[in-house]
């Protein structure tokens, strides 16, 4: 890893969790592969764990504590399980299940622009939709849904990770700061996957996650980012990718709508309709396919003087 890590490999936390290798670094912390020596001695469950250590105390520390608080209140098959929390000196850390597989970003990179097969892509979308719906019921948005924050197992099971950027959209969400304010300053977004409202710094809304999920879904199904990797505010409206079913494109188009009010509010409904577009979706898809292109403007001929 290019950046300095907060703790050296070999460190043992709480006389129990040994850090054996660095497996990832992000804006808030470093993720290590580790061994839970208590579980190894007891022979109960998997002894390998992932340990996420805050990059620093001042800015990343509150985000790691916030993520631990949120994960401590959630148990969901499409969210990474939390085993414990602690501090290494002044640095908070989380102990998480070590997930098998690879990130969705890695899997898409291996496909070299060909996308995933439709069944795998739709299964991933359904898993992410279920995880987001669970978060939304808690009054939080994830805030940073992107391929790098999705782990995909060998069987296609998707797990949403990195809740450090999650933010409350309801007032007075317990543990999220007074009046619903996040417990940290700033608002991290990944521009290529963020909604216009998130890019503008407006109050969070569940439909922001739906927008990001739609960008991820389109990238998986079409093999390319709908806005060519740019923020939605800097790109033209996307066109239906070749080979993508018209009904599914109608569902994706609603999820990609710049206006929040035009998007579905429920991510599970979005995922279900993407798998099985309804009659209205198919009608919209057919209408878009049959629509005549706008008339081309006649060229303007300029006369020039030869003398």
Is 208 part of the annotated catalytic residue set?
A: no
Catalytic residue among 144, 162, 205, 281: 144
Residues 6+ apart with CB under 8 A from 33: 19, 20, 21, 22, 23, 48, 49, 50, 51, 98
Which residues belong to the active site? 144
């Amino acid at each position: 890893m290019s950046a300095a890590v907060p703790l050296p490999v070999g460190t043992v936390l709480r006389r129990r969790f040994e850090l054996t290798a660095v497996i990832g670094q992000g804006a808030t912390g470093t993720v290590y592969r580790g061994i839970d020596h208590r579980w190894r001695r007891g022979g109960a469950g998997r002894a390998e764990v992932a340990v996420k250590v805050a990059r620093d105390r001042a800015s990343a520390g509150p985000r790691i504590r916030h993520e631990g608080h949120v994960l401590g209140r959630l148990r969901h098959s499409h969210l990474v399980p939390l085993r414990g929390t602690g501090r290494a000196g002044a640095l908070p850390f989380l102990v998480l299940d070590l997930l098998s597989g690879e990130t969705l970003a890695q899997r898409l990179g291996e496909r070299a622009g060909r996308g995933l097969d439709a069944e795998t892509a739709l299964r991933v979308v359904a898993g992410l939709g279920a995880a987001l719906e669970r978060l939304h019921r808690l009054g939080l948005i994830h805030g940073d849904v992107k391929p790098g924050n999705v782990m995909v197992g060998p069987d296609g099971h998707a797990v949403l990770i990195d809740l450090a950027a999650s933010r409350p959209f309801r007032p007075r969400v317990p543990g999220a700061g007074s009046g619903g304010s996040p417990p940290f300053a700033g608002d991290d977004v990944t521009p290529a996957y963020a909604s216009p409202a998130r890019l503008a710094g407006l109050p969070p809304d569940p439909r922001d996650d739906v927008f990001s999920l739609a960008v991820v879904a389109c990238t998986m199904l079409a093999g390319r980012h709908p806005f060519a990797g740019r923020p939605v505010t800097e790109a033209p409206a996307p066109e239906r990718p070749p080979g993508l079913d018209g009904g599914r494109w109608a569902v994706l188009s609603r999820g990609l709508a710049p206006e929040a009010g035009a998007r579905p509010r429920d991510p599970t409904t979005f995922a279900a309709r993407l798998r099985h577009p309804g009659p209205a979706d198919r009608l919209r898809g057919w209408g878009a396919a049959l629509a005549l292109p706008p008339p081309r403007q006649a060229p303007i001929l300029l006369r020039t003087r030869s003398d």
